[in-house]
């Protein structure tokens, strides 16, 4: 059975691209969220095997969403999607419980490696 | 990976964010002490940066990155920004919009990024005093991450008794500090981390070189530790040297939090061309439906069930048609949202004070109409600021609020949408217009006064302007005639109301959709032509009304008004396969505002809803067709454009 994924990013562009990369690798994208609040809510509803999480999102940011999700499920597997220059935020997200991170611009191979590490 | 497939999505989404930037800047300019705009701006610019980097648009990403940097400093300083900073951000937003457009067109290199230096300078000035980050503060207070509540924060019994693990992150890895933090987290799961050198606060710095040492109390065997560290990825080397206790993260209470947004509609983006294709297909389905009905009528005696099927198919086709029309609907804010910025810029340029309000943002129009509406509205808004609203001093003299008001409002009417642009400015001086119109020979010398309709016709004449001096903003006499032409081409109408000293309002009425219209089907010989009913005023029989001539052309007199005639046979140069016209020919009177024309045809066949298809006219075609449609029997018919005939 393929792994289920929840993709969280405020940009449709990014969600589309991540979904394409993961979809082509055989993952099943079961949900998308465009704010941290939605991410937390959808995680609870969908219980996905993996979450990809943007750091900067309106409403509730990605790091706070990681905290909330990890509070619900300490085993949650969350992959941060960050940009160059976000070192401090990435460090904070990992402190909050994120399992790995990828840096934009995404290379599909690096995304898939990170996903394997998180799920492995 | 082929990125070109994402270019359109990138462009559409970047534009949304740029529009949001303008809105937020306006809000910030009005209330510099507000904290929300800078956060929203930061997010919007950040999102554009991420998307651009992914697309490989280096210059877009670079500009966005520097804007983000400036915004981050402003956000963290917590001070209200100076006026010139907001102006700089407005300019930067414009520059970003330009380079986004160029990038998508493959001409990113042409972008003028002179503004980068200004942004960097402002960012340096805005940089807040350094303060320890949340993480740094945390590590001063406790060696354990706060996210492991309930975990042991056991005081270290003796420093230096643990296993020393030296790790080097690959030099080419991005965000080495993040990678290092993952290693530390991994080791925290294997034992108790006593010390990290350099302290993890250093991981936050971009200068971090990827080399660090962790001191760990653990029972796990060395090879397993090395495997665990390497599993983090991007690890160049691990070396273990020299030391039991187990740290574990206890599960926290699973608190339920976060309000759902179930009420929100789910949306996807669809290429407009797809909707057009769908509309075309449904048009064909509707055509086939007509043929099916004819067949059913013939066969119903043999098998009555065929009638049920035909009725059912008919209904499904109508439902489909309605759904697709709905899918083409777009809320007007998608165009209106750029106007607050425009009005502000024009007002500043002209030294006017204007409060601008938008009403009915959620009203929907066919996407195609909305796309065409931007320019005419822009003209009319510019005019309102330039000619409508008086300078503050003049307003004060007339005991008016020095700040003028312009309202852009959309209202849904029965089968159309009315969009009004009203100002509370000085109104149009009829006497002045009348005098100028007489002087230019537009009106005869005997005309005493102007009705609203006449006034509109006069000011809408190409080149007509009463602005005392031509400003860069308007007054070149191009505004209103351009706007009117566009609106009419969309099947809409335009009205004016003006009162001296009180203000002026333009009201545009537009069909909700262009895709389906009711039309009168007229014949020339055996050919059929469709005339949208919107402009059909009445029909009379040729020869029953007095004939006359107007400017050398045939005309009829209809209720004391002279209506010029257009003989469709002559105009189109066709007899439709019938050499002689029938003895009795109808005249279809079209009306657009004050203008009328009588179209002489061979016959009138029916009134029906037609599906409008875009029509690529071959060169040399008369400019009297606005599209084509397929009739019930599958034969195409051309749609006559009232604007081209009247």
Residue B178 is predicted with a pLDDT of 92
Averaged pLDDT for residues B353-359: 93
- Each residue of A28-41: pLDDT tens digit? 999 999 999 999 99
Does residue B102 contact residue B111 with C-beta atoms inside 8 Å?
Answer: yes
Q: Which of A6-10, B193-197, B268-272, B536-540 has the highest mean pLDDT?
A: A6-10
Residue B158 has pLDDT above 50, yes or no: no
Taking contacts as CB-CB distances below 8 angstroms, the residues of chain A near B147 are 67, 70, 95-97
Does residue B613 contact residue B627 with C-beta atoms inside 8 Å?
Answer: yes
**Cis omega (within 30 of 0) for bond into B198:** yes
Higher pLDDT, residue B49 or B485: B49
Residue B371 has pLDDT above 80, yes or no: yes
The pLDDT confidence band at residue B245, using thresholds 50, 70 and 90, is very low
- State the alpha helices, DSSP H only, in B351-397: 367-383, 392-397
Q: Mind telling me how many Å the CA of B363 is from chain A's nearest CA? A: 24
The pLDDT confidence band at residue B169, using thresholds 50, 70 and 90, is very high
The pLDDT confidence band at residue B641, using thresholds 50, 70 and 90, is confident
Residue B414 is predicted with a pLDDT of 66
CB contact under 8 A, A87 and B204: yes
The pLDDT confidence band at residue B147, using thresholds 50, 70 and 90, is very low
Residue A9 has pLDDT above 70, yes or no: yes
Place of tokens 């904070």: A92
Instruction: Out of A42-46, B89-93, B140-144, B534-538, pick the least confident.
Output: B140-144
- Each residue of B381-390: pLDDT tens digit? 988 998 899 9
In chain B, which among 500-539 make CB contacts under 8 A with chain A?
none
Q: Which of B142, B258, B261, B262 best tests the A interface by mutation, with the highest count of A CBs <10 A?
A: B258
Q: Is the dihedral of CA B377, B379, B385, B389 positive or negative?
A: negative
Residue B468 is predicted with a pLDDT of 43
Please state, in angstroms and rounded to a whole number, the distance separating the CA atoms of residues A44 and A53: 15
Q: Which of A8, A9, A13, A82 best tests the B interface by mutation, with the highest count of B CBs <10 A?
A: A13
Number of Cβ atoms within 10 Å of the Cβ of B35:
11
Residue B248 is predicted with a pLDDT of 30
Number of Cβ atoms within 10 Å of the Cβ of A86:
22
Residue A22 is predicted with a pLDDT of 94
Higher pLDDT, residue A82 or B633: A82
Beta strand pairing call for B404-412 and B416-423: antiparallel
* Six-digit token string for B497: 């109301």
> Where do the domains of chain B lie, and which CATH numbers do they carry?
4-126 (1.20.120.160), 134-146+159-241 (3.30.70.1110), 272-328 (1.10.287), 347-511 (3.30.565.10), 516-645 (2.40.50.180)
Residue A98 has pLDDT above 90, yes or no: yes
Q: Number of residue pairs across A and B with CB atoms under 8 Å?
A: 144
CB contact under 8 A, A82 and B175: yes
- Name the residue in chain A with its Cα closest to that of B204: A88
Residue A27 is predicted with a pLDDT of 94
In chain B, which among 579-598 make CB contacts under 8 A with chain A?
none
In chain A, which among 66-95 make CB contacts under 8 A with chain B?
67-68, 70-74, 80, 82-88, 90-95
**Residue in A74, A87, A114 nearest the CB of B233:** A114
CB contact under 8 A, B206 and A87: yes
Averaged pLDDT for residues B349-365: 91
- Each residue of B458-480: pLDDT tens digit? 777 766 655 543 444 444 444 67
Averaged pLDDT for residues B43-60: 88
Spatial CA neighbour of B127 closest among B54, B72, B198: B72
Residue B436 is predicted with a pLDDT of 80
Average predicted confidence (pLDDT) for chain B: 80
Instruction: Report the SS3 class of residue B405.
Output: strand
Higher pLDDT, residue B147 or B180: B180
A64 at the B interface (CB within 8 A)? no
Residue B95 has pLDDT above 90, yes or no: yes
Residue B263 has pLDDT above 50, yes or no: no
What is the CA angle A102-A42-B9, rounded to 5? 55
Residue B134 has pLDDT above 50, yes or no: no
Instruction: Out of B90-94, B227-231, B326-330, B412-416, pick the least confident.
Output: B412-416
Does residue B236 contact residue B169 with C-beta atoms inside 8 Å?
Answer: yes
**Cis omega (within 30 of 0) for bond into B183:** no
CB contact under 8 A, B147 and A114: no
Residue B598 is predicted with a pLDDT of 93
Instruction: Out of A1-15, A47-61, B88-102, B457-471, pick the least confident.
Output: B457-471
Residue B281 is predicted with a pLDDT of 83
Half-sphere exposure of B489 (CA within 13 A, CB side): 14
Residue A48 is predicted with a pLDDT of 96
Burial class (CB in 10 A: 0-12, 13-18, 19+), B51: buried
Q: Which of A34-43, B139-148, B166-175, B223-232 has the highest mean pLDDT?
A: A34-43
CB contact under 8 A, A40 and B204: no
Residue B347 has pLDDT above 80, yes or no: yes
Residue B124 has pLDDT above 90, yes or no: no
- State the alpha helices, DSSP H only, in B231-366: 272-299, 305-327, 333-336, 339-350
The pLDDT confidence band at residue B407, using thresholds 50, 70 and 90, is very high
Residue B616 is predicted with a pLDDT of 67
Higher pLDDT, residue B548 or B614: B548
Residue B617 is predicted with a pLDDT of 66
Number of Cβ atoms within 10 Å of the Cβ of B270:
11
Residue A96 has pLDDT above 70, yes or no: yes
**Measured torsion, CA atoms of residues B233, B237, B243, B245, in degrees rounded to the nearest 10:** -10
Please state, in angstroms and rounded to a whole number, the distance separating the CA atoms of residues B449 and B438: 11
CATH code for the domain defined by A4-72+81-100:
3.40.50.2300
Taking contacts as CB-CB distances below 8 angstroms, the residues of chain B near A74 are 249, 251-252
CB contact under 8 A, A44 and B203: no
Higher pLDDT, residue A104 or B566: B566
Residue B249 is predicted with a pLDDT of 29
What order do you get walking across the sheet with B191-197 strand by strand? B191-197, B211-218, B163-169, B235-241
CB contact under 8 A, B46 and A83: yes
Higher pLDDT, residue B406 or B270: B406
* Six-digit token string for B12: 């559409």
Please state, in angstroms and rounded to a whole number, the distance separating the CA atoms of residues B71 and B75: 6
Residue B161 is predicted with a pLDDT of 62
The pLDDT confidence band at residue B229, using thresholds 50, 70 and 90, is very high
Residue B563 has pLDDT above 60, yes or no: yes
Residue B403 is predicted with a pLDDT of 94
Please state, in angstroms and rounded to a whole number, the distance separating the CA atoms of residues A45 and A66: 16
b/e map A1-31, b = 16+ CB within 10 Å? eebbbbbbbbbbbbbbbbbebbeeeebebbb
């Amino acid at each position: 059975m393929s792994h289920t994924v929840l993709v969280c990013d405020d940009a449709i562009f990014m969600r589309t691209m991540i979904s394409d990369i993961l979809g082509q690798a055989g993952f099943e994208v079961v949900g998308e969220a465009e704010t941290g609040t939605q991410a937390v809510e959808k995680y609870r509803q969908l219980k996905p095997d993996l979450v990809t999480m943007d750091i900067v999102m309106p409403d509730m940011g990605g790091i706070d969403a990681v905290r909330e999700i990890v509070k619900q499920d300490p085993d949650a597997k969350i992959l941060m999607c960050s940009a160059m220059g976000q070192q401090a935020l990435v460090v904070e997200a990992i402190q909050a419980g994120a399992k790995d991170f990828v840096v934009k611009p995404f290379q599909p191979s690096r995304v898939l490696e990170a996903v394997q590490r998180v799920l492995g | 990976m082929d990125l070109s497939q994402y270019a359109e999505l990138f462009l559409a989404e970047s534009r949304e964010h740029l529009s949001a930037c303008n809105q937020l800047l306006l809000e910030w300019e009005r209330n510099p002490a507000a904290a929300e705009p800078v956060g929203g701006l930061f997010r919007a610019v950040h999102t554009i940066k991420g998307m651009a980097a992914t697309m490989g648009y280096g210059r877009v990403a670079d500009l966005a990155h520097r804007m983000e940097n400036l915004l981050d400093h402003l956000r963290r300083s917590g001070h209200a920004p100076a006026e010139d900073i907001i102006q700089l951000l407005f300019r930067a937003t414009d520059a970003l919009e330009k380079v986004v457009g160029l990038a998508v067109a493959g001409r990113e290199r042409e972008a003028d990024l002179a503004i980068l230096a200004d942004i960097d300078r402002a960012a340096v000035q805005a940089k807040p005093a350094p303060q320890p980050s949340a993480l740094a503060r945390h590590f001063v207070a406790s060696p354990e991450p706060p996210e492991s509540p309930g975990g042991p924060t056991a005081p270290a019994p003796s420093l230096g008794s643990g296993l020393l693990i030296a790790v080097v992150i690959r030099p080419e890895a991005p965000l080495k500090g993040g990678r290092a933090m993952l290693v530390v987290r991994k080791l925290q799961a294997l034992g108790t981390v006593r010390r990290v050198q350099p302290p993890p606060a250093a991981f936050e710095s971009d200068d971090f070189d990827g080399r660090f040492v962790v001191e760990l109390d653990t029972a796990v065997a060395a090879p397993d530790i090395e495997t665990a560290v390497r599993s983090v990825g991007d690890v160049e080397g691990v070396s273990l040297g020299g030391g039991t206790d187990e740290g574990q993260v206890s599960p926290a209470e699973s608190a339920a939090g976060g309000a759902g947004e179930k009420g929100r509609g789910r949306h996807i983006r669809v290429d407009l061309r797809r909707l057009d294709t769908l509309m075309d297909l449904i048009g064909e389905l509707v055509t086939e439906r007509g043929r099916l009905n004819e067949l059913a009528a013939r066969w119903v005696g043999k098998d009555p069930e065929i009638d049920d099927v035909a009725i059912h198919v008919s209904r499904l086709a109508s439902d489909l048609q309605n759904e697709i029309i709905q899918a083409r609907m777009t809320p007007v804010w998608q165009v209106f949202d750029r106007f607050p910025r425009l009005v502000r810029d024009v007002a500043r340029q002209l030294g006017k004070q204007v409060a601008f309000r938008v009403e009915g943002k959620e009203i929907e129009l066919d996407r195609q109409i909305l796309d065409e509406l931007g320019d005419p509205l822009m003209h009319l808004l510019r005019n309102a600021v330039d000619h409508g609203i008086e300078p503050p001093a003049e307003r004060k003299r007339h005991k008016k609020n020095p700040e003028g008001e312009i309202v852009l409002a959309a209202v849904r009417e029965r089968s159309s949408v009315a969009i009004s642009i009203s100002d509370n400015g000085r109104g149009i001086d009829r006497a002045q217009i009348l005098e100028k119109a007489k002087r230019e020979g537009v009106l005869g010398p005997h005309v005493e006064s102007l009705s609203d309709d006449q006034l509109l016709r006069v000011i809408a004449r190409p080149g007509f302007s009463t602005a005392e001096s031509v400003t860069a903003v308007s007054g070149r006499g191009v505004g209103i005639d351009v706007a009117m032409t566009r609106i009419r081409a969309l099947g809409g109408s335009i009205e004016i109301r003006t009162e001296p000293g009180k203000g002026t309002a333009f009201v545009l009425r537009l069909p909700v959709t262009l895709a389906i219209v009711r039309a009168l089907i007229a014949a020339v010989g055996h050919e059929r032509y469709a005339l949208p009913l919107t402009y059909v005023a009445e029909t009379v029989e040729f020869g029953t009304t007095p004939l006359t001539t107007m400017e050398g052309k045939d005309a009829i007199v209809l209720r004391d008004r002279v209506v010029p005639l257009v003989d469709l046979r002559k105009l189109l140069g066709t007899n439709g396969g019938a050499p002689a016209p029938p003895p009795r020919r109808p005249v279809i009177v079209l009306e657009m505002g004050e203008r009328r024309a009588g179209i002489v045809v061979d016959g009138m066949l029916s009134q029906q809803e037609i599906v409008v298809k875009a029509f690529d006219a071959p060169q040399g075609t008369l400019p009297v067709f606005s599209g084509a449609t397929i009739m019930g029997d599958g034969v195409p018919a051309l749609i006559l454009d009232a604007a081209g005939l009247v």
